[in-house]
C-alpha cells in the first residue's frame, strides 16, 4: 500500500509540475493589442537622406501608425496606407498564431499581391515569416523574397519589431529595428 501511495504522489507531483510549466509558458506570450506609433529614429548631425534627424530605413514595413488586435488564435495588423480622401480601407494583415499558413492579399501597384505567412512563438517573441512572390523585371521569371518580423515587448508600452529582408535581385539582405510606443 505504501508503494502505491508513493506512486500516486509521484504522478500527482509530475502532473502539477506539467501544469505549472504550461501556465508559465502561456504567461510568457505577450498581448500586442493596441494602437502603436513609431518612435522616430535620429541620426547624427548631417547623416543620411533628409538631413539630421531623418529616418533612413523602411523599418518594420508596416508604417508609422499601426493597430494590432490579438486573440488566442490570430494577430491582426492594420495600417492606413492611403489618405482619408482616397476612400480606401486600411490594409489588414491577419496571421494565425498556431503556425499554420496565413494568406494576405494586398491590391497595390501591379494588382493583387498574395503574401504567405507563418507565425510562431519563440519564448516571449512572435516571429512572422512572410514569403512575397514577384516577377523578375529583367527576365519575367517568378521569384520569392522572405521577410521575417520578430515582435517583442521591450517594456510596457514599447513594441519592438526587428525585420530581416532576404537578398533580392543581387542586392544585400537587410535587418532593421523599429520601435513603437503605445497610445
Residue ranges, the chain, pLDDT below 50: 8, 11-25, 44-56
CA-closest candidate to residue 146, choices 125, 118, 121, 126? 118
Mean pLDDT for the chain overall? 81
Note the helical H segments in the chain.
2-27
3-state secondary structure at position 24: helix
Q: What is the pTM of this model?
A: 0.74
Contact of 128 with 119, CB cutoff 8 Å: yes
CA-closest candidate to residue 32, choices 130, 146, 141, 153? 153
30-182 fold: Lipocalin (2.40.128)
Give the CB-side neighbour count of residue 1, counting CA atoms within 13 A: 0
Residue 40 to residue 71: CA distance in whole angstroms? 28
pLDDT, tens digit (0-9, with 9 covering 90-100), for 130-182: 999 888 888 999 999 999 999 999 998 999 999 999 998 888 999 999 999 99
The beta-carbon contacts of 79-85 under 8 Å, at least 24 apart in sequence, are 81/108
CA-closest candidate to residue 76, choices 95, 89, 102, 48? 95
Residue pointed to by grid coordinates 541620426: 43
CA-closest candidate to residue 58, choices 178, 179, 180? 178
CA-closest candidate to residue 128, choices 176, 154, 162? 162
3-state secondary structure at position 2: helix
Amino acid at each position: 500500500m505504501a508503494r502505491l501511495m508513493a506512486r500516486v504522489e509521484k504522478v500527482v507531483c509530475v502532473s502539477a509540475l506539467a501544469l505549472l510549466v504550461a501556465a508559465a509558458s502561456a504567461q510568457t506570450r505577450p498581448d500586442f493589442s493596441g494602437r502603436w506609433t513609431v518612435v522616430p529614429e535620429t541620426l547624427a548631425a548631417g547623416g543620411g537622406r533628409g538631413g539630421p534627424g531623418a529616418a533612413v530605413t523602411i523599418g518594420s514595413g508596416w508604417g508609422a501608425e499601426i493597430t494590432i488586435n490579438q486573440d488566442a488564435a490570430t494577430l491582426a495588423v492594420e495600417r492606413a496606407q492611403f489618405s482619408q480622401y482616397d476612400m480606401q480601407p486600411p490594409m489588414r494583415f491577419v496571421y494565425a498564431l498556431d503556425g499554420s499558413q496565413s494568406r494576405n492579399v494586398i491590391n497595390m501597384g501591379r494588382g493583387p499581391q498574395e503574401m504567405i505567412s507563418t507565425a510562431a512563438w519563440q519564448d516571449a517573441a512572435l516571429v512572422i515569416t512572410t514569403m512575397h512572390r514577384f516577377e523578375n523585371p529583367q527576365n519575367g521569371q517568378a521569384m520569392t523574397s522572405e521577410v521575417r518580423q520578430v515582435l517583442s515587448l521591450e517594456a510596457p508600452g514599447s513594441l519592438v519589431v526587428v525585420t530581416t529582408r532576404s537578398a533580392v535581385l543581387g542586392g544585400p539582405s537587410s535587418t532593421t529595428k523599429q520601435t513603437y510606443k503605445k497610445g
